[in-house]
Amino acid sequence: MTISRPQRISRPEPPGSLLKRITAVTAPRLAGAEPKGGDPVYLAMVRQLPCLFCGVEPCGEAAHVKYSCAAFGMKNMLGRRVEDSRALPLCRDDHLNAKHAQHRGSEEAFWAALGINPYRVTTRLYAQRGDLVAMRAVVLVAIAERSKQP
Residue 61 falls inside a structural domain: yes
Query: Looking at residue 11, what is its pLDDT?
Result: 74
Q: pLDDT category, 150, cuts 50, 70, 90?
A: very low
Domain residue limits at 93: 40-148
Answer yes or no: is pLDDT of 34 > 50: no
Residue 25 falls inside a structural domain: no
For residue 37, the tally of other CB atoms under 10 A from its CB is 7
Domain count along the chain: 1
Answer yes or no: is pLDDT of 1 > 50: yes
Taking the C-alpha atoms of residue 73 and residue 88, their distance in angstroms, rounded to an integer, is 18
Single pTM value for the model: 0.67
Q: pLDDT category, 149, cuts 50, 70, 90?
A: low
pLDDT tens readout for residues 74-117: 555 556 677 888 889 999 888 888 888 887 888 888 888 888 88
